[in-house]
């Protein structure tokens, strides 16, 4: 085997080795990229699911808000009705107070026994 | 009250005194009647005020609940938006990885040509050896 032959064999061996190394490296890199893409897809799916769940929750809250707004509107209607009732009650109190003042301000009035007894009876203190 | 009726006519002073008592009594009775009406009116007003207070409390509770629910809704929407943003980022990342993969595969195809050239080179060496 001549030196030239040996060199050629060595060159061929080196070339084969380099090709094999390149193939392995390339295959590894492809696997890594595939895994990375797969991981990203899984993460995206998980996050998408999370987003859907959050949207569902938001929709439930919207329904609850609608219900509470309707309830608040009903209560406000009730408060308006009660305010009207209160105004009437305040008017009645004012009138009653005025009547008391008028009754107290009245001077001595002549009254016979029978009428007095009737008035007292109306108050639950009839004459005996 | 026992007004009593005398068999003989009473002295005028006694009659005047009795009339004054009757008048005072009548005034007191009217005062009592009016005061009772006032008490009833005040009771009604008090009842109405209590009812109004209860309703106002109910409204406050409902509005507080409404406020809390709106906050929760806002929070849920924020979470959804964040998750969607992250989903987009993850999908972009997947697309990047796939683009790199494609690029790599293209390069690998080139290296197959290299391998063929290598085989040719090997064959040339073998021919040289045979000679």
Nearest to B65 by CA among A54, A57, A69: A69
d(CA A83, CA B123): 107
Tell me how many residue pairs between chain A and chain B have CB atoms under 8 A apart.
214
Characterise B45 by phi-psi region: left (phi > 0), alpha (psi -120 to 50), beta (else): alpha
Q: A54 and B77 in contact by Cβ < 8 A?
A: yes
By Cβ distance, the residue of A71, A93, A106 closest to B41 is A93
pTM over 0.80: no
The pLDDT profile of chain B, 131 residues, written as one tens digit per residue, is 444 444 556 677 787 787 888 888 888 888 999 999 999 999 999 999 999 999 999 999 999 999 999 999 999 999 999 999 999 999 998 898 888 888 877 776 656 677 777 778 777 777 776 66
């Amino acid at each position: 085997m001549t030196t030239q032959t040996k060199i050629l064999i060595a060159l061929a061996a080196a070339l084969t080795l380099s090709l094999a190394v390149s193939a392995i490296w390339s295959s590894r890199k492809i696997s890594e990229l595939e895994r990375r893409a797969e991981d990203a897809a899984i993460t995206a799916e998980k996050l998408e699911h999370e987003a859907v769940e959050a949207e569902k929750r938001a929709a439930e809250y919207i329904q609850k808000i609608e219900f509470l707004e309707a309830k608040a509107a009903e209560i406000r209607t009730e408060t308006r009705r009660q305010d009207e009732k209160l105004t009437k009650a305040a008017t009645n109190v004012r009138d009653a107070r005025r009547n008391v003042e008028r009754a107290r301000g009245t001077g001595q009035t002549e009254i016979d026994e029978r009428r007095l007894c009737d008035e007292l009876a109306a108050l639950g203190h009839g004459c005996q | 009250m026992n007004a009593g009726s005398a068999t003989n006519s009473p002295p005028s002073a006694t009659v005047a005194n009795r009339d004054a008592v009757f008048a005072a009594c009548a005034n007191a009775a009217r005062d009592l009647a009016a005061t009772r009406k006032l008490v009833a009116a005040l009771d009604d007003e008090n009842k109405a005020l209590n009812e109004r207070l209860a309703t106002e409390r109910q409204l406050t509770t409902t509005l507080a609940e409404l406020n809390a629910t709106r906050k929760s809704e806002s929070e849920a929407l924020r979470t959804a938006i964040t998750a969607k943003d992250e989903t987009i980022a993850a999908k972009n990342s997947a697309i990047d990885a796939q683009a790199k993969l494609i690029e790599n595969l293209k390069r690998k195809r080139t290296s197959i040509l290299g391998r063929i050239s290598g085989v040719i080179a090997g064959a040339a060496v073998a021919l040289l050896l045979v000679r």
